[in-house]
Structure 1
Amino acid sequence: MGVEGCTKCIKYLLFVFNFIFWLAGGIILGVALWLRHDSQTTNILYLQLGDKQAPNTFYVGIYILIAVGAVMMFVGFLGCYGAIQESQCLLGTFFTCLVILFACEVAAGIWGFVNKDQIAKDVKQFYDQAFQQALMADSDSSNGKAVVRTFHETLDCCGPDAVVGTLTPLWRDDLCSKDFLKGLLEADASCHKKIDELFSAKLYLIGIAAIVVAVIMIFEMILSMVLCCGIRNSSVY
């Protein structure tokens, strides 16, 4: 015997929320794959300075997002099917998956908040080491110059700060392609600032997506519990 009345409305409401949840999982998966293959981040984070690889902390977060998006799509499908079939077993499994996913999202959010400044800091330290190596190198045998030029061309910057970025083109035009006048006009285009802007913008996007998903998950947990109670009561009668 199927559910009736308000419980039936909750059933279809849960289906709609699960469909939105499934779509959100697909969007998060797509955004994560885009961030993973974004030309700016890949150009920088694939660099290698001697035997030292560029910091990959950012990619750890991206891989977590990819996994979360894929799991969300599976859980959303499970919730849709469980709601339509009015299956307490499927809805119970769906609720358990939601709780686990919500806990993982909270843990990932805490990890991201703790490491958000560290990501940019590590990349800036890597750039500073490459910049110093490029300035001190007597020949092109070191790849420091290639690393620095990649940063400069990708982020359209020059030097770790405004002063160095303005003066460097005067005597090292092999590192900065900007002329001196343009360096004066764009004195705020330091690489440290550009690195901060690059990662803060992407982390801001990830944070918004996480908040939206968390709100949807809370609603779904409430609806799934109410629907399970309604199905149990209707089966008794």
Structure 2
Amino acid sequence: MGANEEKGGTCGTIFLKYLLFTFNFLFWLAGGVVMGVGVWTLVEKSEYISLLPSKTYAASAYILVLAGAIVMVTGVLGCCATFKEQRRLLRVYFVLLLCIFLLEVLSGVLAYIYYQQLSVELKHSLRETMVKKYEQAEQDHVTRAVDKLQQEFKCCGSNRSDNWADSLWIRSARAEGRAVPDSCCKSPTAGCGARDHPSNIYRVEGGCASKLENLILDHLKIIGMVGVAIASIQVTGMVFTCCLYRSLNADTL
């Protein structure tokens, strides 16, 4: 008997087929959501990734994009396997579900590990980045990221505005007497960073490090929640697949 031989099937088998088809449609939609979250993380905050002490955050987002793409392909494969009652395809489908599940778990573990390390690492690394890389040769992406961070979150310096006193750029002639970059100003204009006064410069408790930390933590929570939600759905799908596979085997006896 061929693997793709059509079966009449019992009521239980027919019920499982439609249940698994519905699951696969929802699974396909979920794949789009997962991939969308990963792409959004990489595109929306791509400049800030250059300010982070490690690539773990970016790796988590890339894993989500990969998992989302595989989920969408797997959803289509699951629909074909379900309605054609091909047990071989069901086995392939189950393996793909398991692989996606492991990818989601890996993404969640990376997000959790980075969540624990972020606070201590970020405060030190952001200060080093601002001091040594801002307005330096071949570091335009860092300069843009720092300026955007300070303007978007209305902050100045890693921990406080006087962190800029140690900046290689501030201490050079190219700074033209500025105490802080112009992006620290409440109303940015050329050269406004020369006047280091609370009425002109943002003074935020914890500086930009605390703002960036909160941003990344919020994103990590989203990545974690999406990963857990999809992983839970995948477990359900694997159970349905096993049940249908067993039911098809029983029908052939």
Distance 1:173 1:159, change over 3 A: closer
Matched-pair contact (CA < 8 Å) for 2:156–2:208: yes
In structure 1, distance between residues paired with 2:60 and 2:27: 21
Among 199, 210, 226, the alignment partner of 2:243 is 226
TM-score by length of 2: 0.75
Unaligned stretches of 5+ in structure 1? 48-52
Matched-pair contact (CA < 8 Å) for 1:55–1:123: no
Matched-pair contact (CA < 8 Å) for 1:10–1:223: yes
Matched, 1:212 2:247: no
Aligned counterpart, 1:101: 100
Identity of paired residues, percent? 26
Q: Aligned runs of 1:36-185 on 2, under 5 Å? A: 36-38=42-44, 41-46=45-50, 55-119=54-118, 121-133=120-132, 146=143, 148-161=146-159, 164-165=160-161, 172-175=179-182, 176-178=184-186, 180-181=198-199
The structure that is helix-richer by fraction is 1
Matched-pair contact (CA < 8 Å) for 1:166–1:183: no
Distance 1:120 1:28, change over 3 A: farther
Matched, 1:27 2:24: no
Local SS of the residue matching 2:185: coil
Unaligned stretches of 5+ in structure 2? 1-6, 165-177, 187-196
Aligned counterpart, 1:50: none
Matched, 1:13 2:19: yes
Distance 1:196 1:167, change over 3 A: closer
In structure 1, distance between residues paired with 2:163 and 2:99: 54
Cα root mean square deviation, aligned:
3.1
Q: How much has 1:4 moved relative to structure 2?
A: 2.3
1:139-183 deviation digits (Å, cap 9, x = unpaired): x6676993643431243311233xx34997xx8253521361476
Local SS of the residue matching 1:180: coil
In structure 1, distance between residues paired with 2:152 and 2:120: 18
One-letter amino acid of the counterpart of residue 89, structure 1: R
Matched-pair contact (CA < 8 Å) for 1:166–1:180: no
In structure 2, distance between residues paired with 1:141 and 1:43: 16
Matched-pair contact (CA < 8 Å) for 1:158–1:189: no
Matched-pair contact (CA < 8 Å) for 2:115–2:220: yes
Matched, 1:201 2:218: yes
Local SS of the residue matching 1:97: helix
Matched-pair contact (CA < 8 Å) for 1:43–1:154: no
Give the number of equivalent residue pairs.
Answer: 221
